[in-house]
């Protein structure tokens, strides 16, 4: 899990501090197969396309798959060089309440429709860019802020 120091499309105000977000992501990972990293901060990149370029250079044999929520698929056309991202990185889209329909009917999904695969083919994604799947999964209606707040209550 790559924890970004900041999203250029979101205001910093109201965003949890980067160390808190990184610690929260590390608590979700298992430390072996699922790792949280702040490598984007170390690389000094601001845009995902630049991060990907450096990661592919640093880890030439790695096969990355980008896990994103439907909210990100909907926003993807606003991202810097999003077509380059889709060409070079396969991705799996997880459902998000109130975003699924708009995301699947949106500009990115329409443009990338020829590369959409069935969810049953998700295991084939690594190294197959351009390719993407919409993964049917249980949905959580809680916002990231609500999840963080619930976690604070559990630890206090």
| CA 22/CA 93 separation, integer angstroms | 21
Q: Model confidence over 64-95: pLDDT tens digits?
A: 899 999 999 999 999 999 999 999 999 999 99
Where along the chain do the CATH 3.40.50.620 domains lie? 63-155
CATH architecture of 63-155: 3-Layer(aba) Sandwich (3.40)
What pTM does this model have?
0.83
pLDDT digits (tens, 9 = 90+) for 105-123: 999 999 999 999 999 999 9
SS3 assignment, position 139: coil
| Nearest Cα to Cα of residue 2 among 10, 29, 15 | 29
Quick one: residue 62, left, alpha or beta (phi over 0 = left, psi -120 to 50 = alpha)? beta
């Amino acid at each position: 899990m790559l924890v970004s120091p900041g999203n250029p499309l979101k205001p910093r105000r109201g965003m949890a501090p980067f160390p808190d977000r990184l610690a929260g992501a590390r608590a979700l990972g298992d430390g072996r197969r699922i790792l949280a990293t702040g490598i984007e901060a170390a690389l000094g990149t601001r845009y995902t396309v630049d991060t990907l370029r450096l990661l592919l250079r640093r880890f030439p044999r790695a096969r990355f798959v980008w896990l994103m929520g439907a909210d990100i698929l909907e926003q993807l056309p606003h991202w810097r060089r999003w077509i380059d991202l889709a060409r070079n990185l396969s991705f799996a889209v997880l459902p998000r309440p109130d975003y699924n329909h708009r995301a699947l009917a949106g500009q990115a999904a329409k443009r990338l429709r020829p590369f959409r695969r069935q969810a049953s083919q998700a295991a084939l994604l690594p190294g197959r860019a351009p390719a993407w799947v919409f993964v049917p999964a249980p949905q959580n209606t809680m916002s990231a802020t609500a999840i963080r707040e619930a976690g604070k209550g559990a630890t206090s």
